[in-house]
Structure 1
Amino acid sequence: MNAHQTNHIADTSLTGGLVDLIARKPVSQADLDAAALFTLDAIANVLAGRNSVPGEILLRWWRARHNSNIALDPSQLAFLMGGLCHILETDDLHRESVVHPGCVVIPAAWALARERGISGRLVLESILQGFEATTRVGMAVGAAHYRIWHNTATCGPYGSAMAAAALLGLSREETVHALGNAGSQSSGLWQFLETGAMTKHLHAGRAAEAGLKAAELAAFGFTGPARILEGEKGFFRAACPDANPDAVLGAPDAPWQLTRTSIKPWPSCRHTHPTIDAAEELRVKLGERGEDAIRSISIGTYQAALDVCDRKAANSDYEAKFSLQHSVAAALLYPKVDFDAFGDAARARCANLALRVSVQAAEPYRSAYPRAWGGSVELTLTDGTVLSATRTNAKGDPEAPLSRADMIDKALMLFAHGKVREPERLVDGILGLASDGALPDLSLF
């Protein structure tokens, strides 16, 4: 195939169209401010993730392979940061794509900008572009993909490649090559849920690393498949039986998808959050009557939540974070659903109540997903009283957003969990990126 044919394919491919769509989107100061808050959330998750068993393993692995006399490879640093960011289950989530963009895009952008001394505004613009790429691909993969494949892992490389391409100043053609090679590395299966293995963190780190490396190679002329999405042997054909390719380029004038991304207030799988929110309301209604007054609990949700989080018995912190039953029990029994609510003591306390929980896919939540992630909780008490609460959207969704103060408070909570010194300095430094400030030093290791 000659260069003219290659360029024509790039011009007419979905990937080429995605690069063009992103290039045409205007960036306002409000967009930059939003990107800075999402960056704060992701970096807080990175630093808090160090205080965990998987985080300690990742850091031991890193220290065994690196010393202070060797310059950091940005793709390897992106891998480490991505893995750490996704450990505590408090990172962001884009509902319609079921992708966690921040744990992939922001580590890649941060690692590359750190190496090259790139200023804050350009970093935030690259993050906006990376979120756009990964979520638009994610919105196109279809529901069947998510039953086997982890969307953050499979769609994430497109986002990290897009962010890196922006920071590297790649041409349109080079960016298409970068996305093509990033997409060819799409992988990540849900099998780890069977045993609660640590694989999910590897997914985020690998997606961040894969896209960044693909962009770096494209800068040297390394080519990739333009039709990686729609080709006969491409991503959609291989792994997306009900793909909707039109979603990649749909609604080109919509707001940046970063502003349509949700922030998690609780450290558990996002699918548990609508019912945690509803259960917290019921805890107040229950008042002094306590656990013994509850005969049974019924949860209404959507099918994807059942596929991932239907787990009556939780034998580890991680399994508890992926258990609708435990999460609702914890929200009913504890005044605050924080990291401790998923620990050994909390699992022991919640185990009996969790056994009284039944879960089912129910309307209107089943049909509304993935446009809206809602749920309901109904308590039947021993005296026959029924208490119920419903949520159309989860707290932290664009329709029920956290405030700027809420976001800062959450970051400070995560920094405290990660034993970060001078957390206010980091908050000011990261939010200052929107005013073109320099990247603050993370003291990651």
Structure 2
Amino acid sequence: MADETRELAKFAAGFTYDQIPARVRSLALDLIVDQLGVEIGCSEMPWAKQVREVYRRNGGTPEATVVRYGERLPASSAALINSTFGHSFEYDDANPLTHGHLGAELVPSLMAIGEREHSSGRNFLTALVAAYEVRGRIGWAVSPNMLERGGPQYSTTCGPFGVATGVGKLLGLDAEGIRNALGVAGTFSGGLMQYDHGGGSVKRLFTAIGASSGIQAAHLAQGGITGPEGILEGARGLLRIYPSDYQPERLVADFGKQWMIDHLLFKPYSCCALIHPAIDALKKIITANDLKADGIESIEVGYPKGFYDHAAITSPKDLLGMQFSTSYTLAITVLKGRNTPREYTMEVLVDARIRALASKVRLWEDLGLDKYFEGHMPARVKVRTTSGAVHEELVIDAKGSMGAPFSSDEVDDKFRSQVADVFGAERCEKLLGVLRNIDTLDDVAKLPPMLVVKNGK
């Protein structure tokens, strides 16, 4: 077996800003805008406040800034808090090919270290692209079997490797240093997915756990701690331990030709990404046939085998459960007309109309969609009306994904929807201008103060 881990480390260490294709640069900027918008907009969720308070009390050397609130804490603590903000309400990016939430893993981690190290905007963006590529390829190599088997979760399993890569690059580690960081990151890799059956707010921290672990791994490697060779492809490496159909060749295949960031998905809906194509399909049916809730007899949703069990909660007990419930989410689509964070509340969870319509939703494993399992987000929706008519819609690529992409303008509009009410419209636009040109900053430490509320805005 080839030494793929070492090849990834060599790629990351040698990667330069000038090697970033224009398309990849644009997507990386979209990712930064999307993630920071969600961090600001979702930072007041109860679990986000709880995490912030825990690490605020712990204190420590003031190295990096907590988004929106402005506390300065150790870089690892700030990264963990900001990553929690960014993943706190299922509104952050996803990736149908690599799985996980790479923006919430990488952006807050590299921002915190970049602030502490006074990295240039060019170096920050270069580290982000390199880290995304390494992290994405690791997720691709263990896909799709790991999701189908029910875990472990991608952001806690693969995330530490990507973060260790990007942080290591910002710290100036050479290829051997990044290889050691990857080896150490393997010690932190893990994370169970029972949340998609049993709920629990700890799921909101999964990207943060990956972020914190990756930062620790890079720091330990910088300090001289060595990691085992072959941590990914070796006899007891990541790819051997979890899935049965691991594909190590994907770790290095078509470097410079196929970019993992091309496959990212920006979420228009605040729920599990696997439900998004069902929302898109249902909205098309509703619009085409002018349907209302009282005219719906039943809704059937077909998913590929690997998706089916990840979004099948039928009686959610909390908001996370509702966001992983196809039935409740589609009821919200019909009755509320949209699926933004504002629609996922405890009041909606106990709403009798939502519950009644949710009880009419049934899921099935659509074997015809299995061929789209990897790299797509498919769903087939059938709506039977009270008059006996049946309407069917198939969506292969959810809105916001590579097959139905967001434009940069749509990413900016989502950012405004999260930030303008917090910072005010004028300041929001100024911040957008800075983020769209982050690679022109001589010091990314100039950015975090712009992400903090001042004088009420």
Give the TM-score normalised by the residue count of structure 2. Answer: 0.89
Which residues of structure 2 form unaligned runs of 5+?
64-71
- Secondary structure (helix, strand or coil) at the match of 2:160 reads helix
CA contact (8 A) 1:32 1:125 kept: no
Q: Which residue of 2 aligns with 1:4?
A: none
Corresponding residue number in structure 1 for 2:69: none
Contact 1:140 1:247 (C-alpha < 8 Å) held by counterparts:
yes
Residues 274, 307 of structure 2: 8 Å contact kept:
yes
1:55 to 48, 53, 58: 48
Tell me the CA shift for residue 255 of structure 1.
3.7
1:378 aligns with 2:371: no
Is the CA contact 2:48–2:81 (under 8 Å) kept in the aligned structure 1?
no
SS of 1:148's equivalent in the other structure is coil
Instruction: Give the Cα–Cα distance (whole angstroms) in 2 for the partners of residues 437 and 381 of structure 1.
Output: 60
Counterpart residue number, 1:145 = 146
Q: Distance in 2 between matches of 1:279 and 1:370?
A: 22
Q: Kindly indicate whether the alpha-carbon contact (under 8 Å) linking 1:340 and 1:346 is maintained by their aligned counterparts in 2.
A: no
Query: In the alignment, what sits opposite 1:244?
Result: 247
Within the alignment, does 1:16 sit opposite 2:17 as a pair? no
Say which is worse superposed, 101-110 or 246-255, in terms of deviation.
246-255
User: Quick check: 1:325 aligned with 2:318?
Assistant: no
Counterpart in the other structure of 1:89: 90
Q: CA deviation at 1:415?
A: 1.8
Cα distance in 1 for residues equivalent to 2:5 and 2:392 = 46
Cα pair 1:267 1:321 within 8 Å, conserved? yes
The Cα offsets for residues 278-331 of structure 1, whole Å up to 9 and x where unpaired, read as 1111221342x5212111111111123221111222232211110111122221
Q: Distance in 1 between matches of 2:100 and 2:439?
A: 24
Counting matched residue pairs gives: 433
Name the counterpart of 1:77.
Answer: 78
Matched residue, 2:198: 195
Number of the residue aligned with 2:31: 38
Whether 1:167 and 2:160 are equivalent positions in the alignment is: no
Cα contact 1:42–1:85 (8 A) shared by 2 = yes
| Structure 1: distance between partners of 2:154 and 2:339 | 26
Partner in structure 2 of residue 334 of structure 1? 336
Deviations 1:359-414 (A, max 9, x none): 11214322211221111211111111112222110100112111111000101112
1:231, distance to aligned residue in structure 2 (A): 2.1
Do 1:91 and 1:102's aligned partners in 2 also have CA atoms closer than 8 Å? yes
1:406 aligns with 2:396: no
Report what 2:67 is aligned to.
none
CA contact (8 A) 1:32 1:121 kept: no
- The verdict on how the C-alpha distance between 1:167 and 1:345 changes in structure 2, with shifts beyond 3 A counting, is same
Secondary structure at the residue paired with 2:194? Answer: helix
1:142–1:241 Cα contact (<8 Å) kept: no
Query: What pairs up with 1:343-422 in 2 under 5 angstroms?
Result: 343-347=345-349, 348=351, 349-416=353-420, 419-421=422-424, 422=427
Distance 1:374 1:444 in 2: 40
Distance 1:69 1:174, change over 3 A: closer
* Counterpart for residue 229 of structure 2: 226
Q: Which range is displaced more, 390-399 or 336-345? A: 336-345
Change (3 A) 1:16 1:120: same
1:247 counterpart letter in structure 2: R
**Counterpart Cα distance in 1 of 2:141 and 2:404:** 25
Secondary structure in 2 matching 1:95: coil
Measure the CA separation in 2 of the matches of 1:57 and 1:24.
38
Match of 1:435 among 433, 440, 445: 440
Shift of 1:339: 1.7
Q: Distance in 2 between matches of 1:69 and 1:390?
A: 51
The superposition leaves residues 245-270 of structure 1 with CA deviations (integer Å, 9 ceiling, x where unpaired) of 12111222324312221111111110
What does the per-residue CA deviation read over 1:120-151, in whole Å, with 9 as the maximum and x for residues that have no partner? 11111111111111110111114342212101
Q: Which residue number corresponds to residue 311 of structure 1?
A: 313
Q: Is the 8 A contact 2:97 2:143 kept in 1?
A: no
CA distance in structure 1 between the partners assigned to 2:61 and 2:11 by the alignment: 41
Query: Which has the higher mean CA deviation after the structures are superposed, 15-24 or 90-99?
Result: 15-24
Query: What corresponds to 1:207 in structure 2?
Result: 210
Alpha-carbon distance in structure 2 between the residues aligned to 1:219 and 1:335: 51
Q: Is the 2:156–2:209 contact (alpha carbons within 8 Å) kept by the matching residues of 1? A: yes
In structure 2, relative to structure 1, the CA distance for the partners of 1:245 and 1:61 (3 Å cut) is: same
Comparing 428-437 with 374-383, greater Cα deviation is found at: 428-437
For residue 438 of structure 1, report the CA deviation from its aligned partner. 4.3
Distance 1:62 1:129 in 2: 29
- Secondary structure of the 1:340 match is helix
Asked whether 1:184 is paired with 2:174, we answer no
Aligned equivalents of 2:161 and 2:61: distance in 1? 31
TM-score calculated relative to the size of structure 1: 0.92
SS of equivalent to 2:176? helix
Alignment of 1:251-270 (within 5 A): 251-270=254-273
Structure 1: segments with no counterpart, 5+ residues: 1-8
Distance 2:375 2:415 in 1: 27
Q: Distance in 2 between matches of 1:207 and 1:149?
A: 12
Contact 2:96/2:264, CA 8 A, preserved across alignment: yes
Letter in 2 for 1:427: L
> Which amino acid in 2 is paired with 1:443?
V
Aligned to 1:426: 431
